[in-house]
Amino acid sequence: MRALTTHGLSKTFKVKRKPEGLSGSVRALFKPEWKDKIAVHSIDLAIEQGETVAFLGPNGAGKSTTIKMLTGILHPTSGEAEVAGFVPWRDRTKLAFRIGTVFGQKSQLWYHLPPIDTFELISRVYELTRADYAARQRDLIERFELGPYLHTPVRKLSLGERMRCEIAASFLHRPQLLFLDEPTIGLDVVVKQRIRELIRERNRREETTVFLTSHDAGDVEELCSRVIVIHHGGVLLDEPVERVKRDVLSRKTVRLTLAEEADLSGMPETAGVDIRESEPGRLVFSVDLKRIGIEEALNAFLGKVRIADLTVEDPPLEEIIKHIYGSQAREEVRS
Amino acid sequence: MMSFRGRMARYAASGSKGIAVGRIAWRQQLAYKTDLLLRASFLLLILFVFEQLWSAAYGGDTSKVIGGFTLKQIVWYLVFTEALTLAVPPLAARIEEEVKNGEIAVRLTRPMSYVGYHYASYMAEAAFRFFVHLAVGGLIAWALVGAPAFGAGWADLLLLSAGALSILFLLHAIVALSAFWVEETSGMSFVLNKLQFTVGGMLLPLDLMPEWLQRICAWLPFQAALYFPARAGVQAHSADVLRDLAIQIGWLIALAAIVTWIYRRGVGKLHVNGG
Amino acid sequence: MSTEANRVGGIWRFLLACWKANFASALEYRLSFFLLAGMMLLNNLIWVFFWQLFFSRFPVVQGWELRDVMILWALSAGGFGWASVLFGNYGRIANIVSSGQLDVYLSQPKPVLLHVLASRMSVTAAGDFLFGWLIFAWVGDHTIRGFLLFVAGLLLTGLLFMGLMIVVGCIAFWYGNSEGIAGQVFNSFITLTTYPSDIFRGVARTLLFTVVPAGFISYLPIGLIRSIDPAFLIAAVSVTFGLMAAGCTLFALGLRRYASGNAITVRQ
């Protein structure tokens, strides 16, 4: 079953342009100049029930606008969409019963109240029966381990605890489709991990379709089965995570802290190793795992430098996206 | 012991510091144009409403004198009290904020008196706002009830307003400095404002109040902060002005003593708690 | 039929849940709740005190006596009070629209305007509401008729406040940042509802019953409470419901405009 389809979904904003200076302001007051700004340009998507999709793109690529159209908040300029069997902008209210939204920076929990009070309110908003609400609440409290925080005002919870409550709250009405906007932003690694597990579990148990935007490569890798990248309002890439991982996430960044100054001038180039920064006491290089293993790559440096400390990390998502754009551009040139 | 010349030099130094602080505070006022505009439009509304109210009360008779005031005088009286009331910056909120975010520790390390700093910045701001409100309110009143012919009253008004704003500063400082002990000063500020409103004679000159209340008001500092300058502005009697001035000075000394005492105790407490 | 009843029941339960959450939020800060509400009560009482001083000098002004002005304060504060306690966001619509807070309400399946309105409770307004009843107990007409008339007055006043502010708040859909203007209208309107309508003459009086319809509140003590003036009452009721209807229509139009998003500045 399809959870979501769009066809040629587009959105153009009219933006008021204010000429500079006082005379410009006065003129703009009487005869404003409008300029078209294409936010989303003909997006085609087809997502099956139960899929977990990462929806990526740089700031201003049209992610928010697309999500707002898919949830019925904004009407498109042209194109079609069907979400959970509804046309979002025509049946916004009916659709709202079937979907859930979590915005990392905008809380739906009442700040001064304990989470349980917000749960109660949400049960009324989504018209759950008392029995259903009680069962549902019990299940989520147990799985999300919310017991200890349930009666503590939200303002006294840590960000991680709050986020767990936030996500549990959005699952309360059994949404078929959950939109998550930066769900792990600002959390530490352990908490991020836990939140991803919980979302995954819901996805498996209830076949909830997950539609997620994130700047965290970990979210994409561990939570999603498919990646959609948009850029300049259009779909740039739509592939299974496995393949993206093989193609793009195969790079690791290695940071070395050196015990003494090293001279690398005479060192031969190693295939798959790319030195990014070389300063006294510091060395950063990236490793292409398709071409060389981490161990081998490190071997190339051992003996030549004295290592005091070392970290291996995923490249930030921006870099991955840049990489995708880069290869896309190359392909365009080739074809 | 400091020589006389040394002491004079110290006074001159703190005076010029005060002027420097005042100049900055004055210039900053120009940045708050919207605030100024909002207060001006509030002034317009309130003066218009009260002109209508007093006209109705006087039965539209411009020559009638009630409690010593003609219709024109009572509207102008309101211009003066409002100009003073709206001139007062939110001193308590500012000091409370400084105590809460620890900025006070920085201020205390500066080679300038803490209360003196606030007085300088307050007076500059208050004077700026006072003159703007006076101009705006004056224009409105002029249009509503006609030009003032208060003669020497203007001089008396300005003379007594300096003392009045200083008394308002000290009253608000007492509330503000309580921030050393309590977390919330807005409640006390509120009470202070309401006292100004009633026993200060903001809307109703004391002369129009019942006997018993007038007698109470005579013993409170609030009349010196609003009623004195505004009444002097519309009815110039030089003998009264001298008496008013004497009472103002008396209150200034008494209130300054109280503020100094509270401040010393507050700072002592601050040092104990380490900010 | 039964589904319709279900729908209404659902909305009712939803409103109750909103109010419960609002009230619980307010009680989180019990002390400041009572302090703020008490301060508002005190503020209004001081105004009553001013009017007592005023009327001790001028016992009758344009046919108004002290009691009428006290009832006027009771109606204005009481009406403002219940509206702001139950639908505390009605004065903040411009702010909510222009700061992009509508999205949260739009992604949930309840009537958007109602959801916005009921999502906040003004704490100080509880003091206003209490003040209204205190004054009624003090100088009101303690008969069933007097009670019903007072309740009707409160209802009209609150609805008029809400209707006007919804209409004014909707300006934000078309002109973006209009919080300042909306706030200014609100404050001026509240101020104007607390002075006897009959002290105003000429153009001012005309304005009071047209552009700035505060007169429909500030004549209630004479035209409804003292003795029913049918012409005034019909006008007041029609203006109130007219404003309410206009507010709801404008809000719906505004939402459509917001959703089709042609002229709204993009806030990503």
Cβ of A110 and C21 within 8 Å? yes
Q: Which tens digit of pLDDT belongs to each residue from A228-250? A: 988 888 888 888 888 877 776 67
Q: Is the pLDDT of residue A296 over 70?
A: yes
Q: How far is C81 from chain A (nearest CA, A)?
A: 22
Interface test with C, best of B190, B193, B207, B217 (most C CBs within 10 A): B190
Arithmetic mean of pLDDT, A100-115: 83
Contacts of C107 in chain A (CB under 8 A): 71-73, 96, 99, 101
Of A73, A121, A153, the CB nearest to C103: A73
Cβ of C21 and A118 within 8 Å? yes
Closest listed residue to residue C237, CA positions, set C157, C132, C170, C164: C157
Q: Is the dihedral of CA B77, B78, B79, B80 positive or negative?
A: positive
Contacts of A94 in chain C (CB under 8 A): 109
Q: Return the residue of A nearest to C107 by Cα.
A: A96
Of A11, A96, A110, the CB nearest to C107: A96
> Token pair for residue A304?
């030549």
Q: Is the pLDDT of residue B175 over 70?
A: yes
Q: Which of residues 179-238 of C touch B (CB under 8 A)?
A: 180, 184, 187-188, 191-192, 195, 198-201, 204
User: Cα-flanking dihedrals φ and ψ of residue A57, to 5°?
Assistant: 165, 155
* d(C-alpha B157, C-alpha B205), whole Å: 15
- What is the model's pLDDT at position B29? 67
Q: Which of residues 166-185 of A touch C (CB under 8 A)?
A: none
* d(C-alpha A93, C-alpha A95), whole Å: 5
Cβ of C46 and B45 within 8 Å? no
Q: Is the dihedral of CA A162, A167, A171, A173 positive or negative?
A: positive
Closest listed residue to residue C167, CA positions, set C198, C126, C125, C212: C212
Non-local CB neighbours of B272 within 8 Å, separated by 6+ positions: none
* d(C-alpha A59, C-alpha A230), whole Å: 10
Q: Is residue C265 part of a domain?
A: no
> Token pair for residue A5?
């389809």
Using pLDDT thresholds of 50, 70 and 90, give the confidence band for residue C2: low
The answer to whether residue A265 neighbours chain C at the CB level (below 8 Å) is no
Contacts of B198 in chain C (CB under 8 A): 46, 49-50
Across chain C, what does the average pLDDT equal?
90
Arithmetic mean of pLDDT, C128-141: 96
* d(C-alpha B120, C-alpha B173), whole Å: 13
Q: Is residue C266 part of a domain?
A: no
Using pLDDT thresholds of 50, 70 and 90, give the confidence band for residue B275: very low
Cβ of C109 and A65 within 8 Å? no
Q: Is the pLDDT of residue C54 over 90?
A: yes
Cβ of B41 and C184 within 8 Å? yes
> Token pair for residue B163?
């003392």
The answer to whether residue C42 neighbours chain B at the CB level (below 8 Å) is yes
Please indicate whether residue C8 or residue A59 has the higher confidence score (pLDDT): C8
- What is the model's pLDDT at position A292? 84
- What is the model's pLDDT at position C156? 97
How far is the CA of A38 from the CAs of A68, A80, A89, A325, in angstroms? 15, 17, 19, 19
> Token pair for residue B21?
């602080």
Closest listed residue to residue A283, CA positions, set A254, A303, A316: A254
Of A97, A106, A112, the CB nearest to C104: A106
Q: Is the pLDDT of residue C40 over 50?
A: yes
* ipTM of the shown complex: 0.88
Other CB atoms within 10 Å distance of the CB of residue C233: 17
> Token pair for residue C235?
């006008």
Cβ of C43 and B209 within 8 Å? no
Using pLDDT thresholds of 50, 70 and 90, give the confidence band for residue A316: low
Q: Where are the alpha helices (DSSP H) in chain C?
A: 2-28, 30-57, 66-86, 93-98, 102-106, 112-118, 124-139, 144-169, 171-175, 179-192, 202-208, 215-218, 220, 230-260
Across chain B, what does the average pLDDT equal?
86
Using pLDDT thresholds of 50, 70 and 90, give the confidence band for residue C264: very low
Non-local CB neighbours of A302 within 8 Å, separated by 6+ positions: none
* d(C-alpha A119, C-alpha A117), whole Å: 5
Q: Which tens digit of pLDDT belongs to each residue from B65-79? A: 988 899 999 999 999
DSSP C266: P
Of C57, C187, C191, the CB nearest to B208: C57
Interface test with A, best of C25, C97, C107 (most A CBs within 10 A): C107
Closest listed residue to residue C141, CA positions, set C228, C20, C247: C228
Of C35, C49, C198, the CB nearest to B187: C35
* d(C-alpha C87, C-alpha C94), whole Å: 15
How far is the CA of B99 from the CAs of A78, B96, B112, B273, B275, in angstroms? 56, 5, 17, 12, 8
Using pLDDT thresholds of 50, 70 and 90, give the confidence band for residue C268: very low
Residue C153: domain span? 2-260
Using pLDDT thresholds of 50, 70 and 90, give the confidence band for residue B35: confident
Q: Touching A: which chains, 3+ CB pairs < 8 A? A: C
Cβ of C106 and A13 within 8 Å? no
Q: Is the dihedral of CA A300, A301, A302, A308 positive or negative?
A: negative
* H or E element at residue C226: none
Of C10, C21, C268, the CB nearest to A64: C268
Q: How far is C105 from chain A (nearest CA, A)?
A: 9
Contacts of C24 in chain A (CB under 8 A): 113, 117
Using pLDDT thresholds of 50, 70 and 90, give the confidence band for residue B223: very high
**Cross-strand bridge partners of residue B109:** none
Q: Is the pLDDT of residue B191 over 80?
A: yes
- What is the model's pLDDT at position A26? 66
DSSP C212: S
% of residues, chain B, pLDDT over 90: 48
% of residues, chain C, pLDDT over 90: 71
Of C57, C191, C204, the CB nearest to B52: C204
- What is the model's pLDDT at position C267? 35
Q: Is residue C36 part of a domain?
A: yes
Using pLDDT thresholds of 50, 70 and 90, give the confidence band for residue C261: low
Interface test with B, best of C43, C45, C52, C57 (most B CBs within 10 A): C57
How far is the CA of A330 from the CAs of A242, A323, A334, in angstroms? 22, 10, 6
The answer to whether residue A186 neighbours chain C at the CB level (below 8 Å) is no
Q: Is residue C21 part of a domain?
A: yes
Q: Which of residues 248-267 of C touch B (CB under 8 A)?
A: none
For chains B and C, CB pairs below 8 A equal 60
* d(C-alpha A64, C-alpha A85), whole Å: 21
Chains B and A touch each other (3 or more Cβ pairs < 8 A): no
> Token pair for residue C47?
């105004």
Closest listed residue to residue B200, CA positions, set B176, B247, B150, B164: B164
Cα dihedral angle (A303, A306, A309, A312), rounded to 10 degrees?
-40
* d(C-alpha B266, C-alpha C45), whole Å: 34
* d(C-alpha A235, C-alpha A61), whole Å: 10
Closest listed residue to residue C41, CA positions, set C71, C78, C88: C78
Of A14, A60, A65, the CB nearest to C262: A14
Instruction: Work out the angle at residue B258's Cα, subtended by the Cα atoms of residues B254 and B262, and round it to the nearest 5 degrees.
Output: 170
| Confidence (pTM) | 0.83
Q: Which tens digit of pLDDT belongs to each residue from C171-189? A: 999 887 788 888 889 999 9
- What is the model's pLDDT at position C101? 83
Q: Is residue C87 part of a domain?
A: yes
Non-local CB neighbours of C3 within 8 Å, separated by 6+ positions: none
Amino acid identity, position A273: V
Q: Is the pLDDT of residue A333 over 50?
A: no
Q: Which tens digit of pLDDT belongs to each residue from B41-95? A: 889 999 999 999 999 999 888 888 988 899 999 999 999 999 999 999 989 988 8
**Cross-strand bridge partners of residue A2:** A48
Using pLDDT thresholds of 50, 70 and 90, give the confidence band for residue A20: low
Contacts of B68 in chain C (CB under 8 A): none
- What is the model's pLDDT at position A325? 62
Interface test with B, best of C200, C212, C218 (most B CBs within 10 A): C200
The answer to whether residue C109 neighbours chain B at the CB level (below 8 Å) is no
Please indicate whether residue C53 or residue A252 has the higher confidence score (pLDDT): C53
The answer to whether residue A75 neighbours chain C at the CB level (below 8 Å) is yes
- What is the model's pLDDT at position B165? 96
Contacts of C187 in chain B (CB under 8 A): 42
Cβ of C180 and B213 within 8 Å? no
Contact C196, C61 (CB under 8 A): yes
Non-local CB neighbours of C27 within 8 Å, separated by 6+ positions: C33
Contacts of A15 in chain C (CB under 8 A): 265-266
- What is the model's pLDDT at position C181? 85
Q: Return the residue of C nearest to A99 by Cα.
A: C107
Contact B142, B44 (CB under 8 A): no
Using pLDDT thresholds of 50, 70 and 90, give the confidence band for residue C263: very low
Q: Return the residue of A nearest to C106 by Cα.
A: A73
Q: What is the 3-state secondary structure (H, E, C) of chain A?
A: CEEEEEEEEEEEEEEEECCCHHHHHHHHHHCCEEEEEEEEEEEEEEEECCCEEEEECCCCCCHHHHHHHHCCCCCCCEEEEEECCECCCCCHHHHHHHEEEEECCECCCCCCCCHHHHHHHHHHHCCCCHHHHHHHHHHHHHHCCCHHHCCCCHHHCCHHHHHHHHHHHHHCCCCCEEEEECCCCCCCHHHHHHHHHHHHHHHHHHCCEEEEECCCHHHHHHHCCEEEEEECCEEEEEEEHHHHHHHCCCEEEEEEEECCCCCCCCCCCCCCEEEEEEECCEEEEEEECCCCCHHHHHHHHECCECEEEEEEECCCHHHHHHHHHHHHHHHHHHC
Arithmetic mean of pLDDT, A315-327: 65
- What is the model's pLDDT at position C223? 94
Cβ of C195 and B49 within 8 Å? yes
Using pLDDT thresholds of 50, 70 and 90, give the confidence band for residue A278: confident
Q: Is residue C78 part of a domain?
A: yes
Q: How far is C179 from chain B (nearest CA, A)?
A: 13
Arithmetic mean of pLDDT, A271-276: 81
* d(C-alpha A116, C-alpha A151), whole Å: 6
- Domains for chain A: give ranges and CATH numbers: 2-247 (3.40.50.300), 251-313 (3.30.70)
Arithmetic mean of pLDDT, A291-298: 83
Non-local CB neighbours of A204 within 8 Å, separated by 6+ positions: none
Looking at the structure of chain C, the number of domains it has is 1
Please indicate whether residue A23 or residue A296 has the higher confidence score (pLDDT): A296
